[in-house]
Homo-oligomer: A and B are copies of this chain.
Amino acid sequence: MLFFTQCFGAVLDLIHLRFQHYKAKRVFSAAGQLVCVVNPTHSLKYAPTRCAAAQASTEQSILPPCHHHEAVHDPQLVPCTCPLFSCPWEGHLEVVVSHLRQTHRINILQGAEIVFLATDMHLPAPTDWIIMHSCLGHQFLLVLRKQEKYEGHPQFFATMMLIGTPTQANNFTYRLELNRNQRRLKWEATPRSVLECVDSVISDGDCLVLNTSLAQLFSDNGSLAIGIAITTSKVHSPEAEM
């Protein structure tokens, strides 16, 4: 009996995922882009000071216990870049991707242009939606975060980070695009390196920022579709801008 109940649950989940994927495809099919449904990662144990210097952590969370270090003693070693969870892991840049996939179960997508479909936007802050994006010979980490910078007023912050060095990151430009209800919002910037802290990027506000009302305008039935494109960047000059 338990077996049949589990089977029925699994079938319902599949139908729900299929429906969300279909919805996204309906919107983005014209562009022939790959659509990835991203479910939220919600943690009640949000540690705003985890970007401070390395310190022992006893916090437990849903995923394996984690801890962030900013002071990496071996410059070749990278602390775990998974946001929201403090993770004690550190390793070489080359193995960050496999750590994120295996330990944190973060999906990886291929392609220059993809659509990130974040579900359940109504969930309370703090909540993260995370995915990896493989493109132009590199891997990028996209983080969408719902956070209350001002108490009682959650906002959405979206940024892209290169799983590589800051010098490598300077060679790229990423674009995040929202498009719905005859409104379009585009953010273009140079990705940060995962050696920098995603928390500081968000607290500096140097990313795509959405108020709840704007996020609702761009959402469809509780899901927010973000078009992502990565290109190699050209040399910027003030005269060439705008």
A153 CB-CB contact with B under 8 Å: yes
Return the contact of A182 from the options B177, B180, B189, B239 (Cβ within 8 A): B189
Q: Are B186 and A186 in contact (CB under 8 A)?
A: yes
Return the contact of A184 from the options B183, B186, B206, B212 (Cβ within 8 A): B186
Return the contact of A27 from the options B183, B187, B212, B242 (Cβ within 8 A): B242
A33 CB-CB contact with B under 8 Å: yes
- What's the tally of chain A residues with a CB closer than 8 Å to chain B? 43
A205 CB-CB contact with B under 8 Å: yes
Q: Are B184 and A184 in contact (CB under 8 A)?
A: no
Q: Which residues of B contact A210 (CB under 8 A)?
A: 209
Interchain CA distance A209-B185 in the complex, whole Å = 11
Once A150-B150, A153-B150, A211-B205 are accepted as A-B contacts, the answer to whether A189 and B183 lie under 8 Å apart by CB is yes
A112 CB-CB contact with B under 8 Å: no
Return the contact of A205 from the options B204, B213, B240 (Cβ within 8 A): B213
Q: Are A204 and B209 in contact (CB under 8 A)?
A: no
A123 CB-CB contact with B under 8 Å: no
Q: Which residues of B contact A26 (CB under 8 A)?
A: 238-239
Q: Are B204 and A240 in contact (CB under 8 A)?
A: no
Chain A 204-242 per-residue mask, 1 if CB under 8 angstroms from chain B, else 0: 111001111110010000000101000001001011111
A190 CB-CB contact with B under 8 Å: yes
Q: Which residues of B contact A27 (CB under 8 A)?
A: 238-239, 241-242
Q: Which residues of B contact A242 (CB under 8 A)?
A: 27-28, 30-31, 33, 115, 177, 179, 225, 227
Q: Which residues of B contact A188 (CB under 8 A)?
A: 183-185
Give A residues with C-beta under 8 Å from B: 26-31, 33, 115, 149-150, 153, 173, 177, 179-180, 182-190, 204-206, 209-214, 217, 225, 227, 233, 236, 238-242
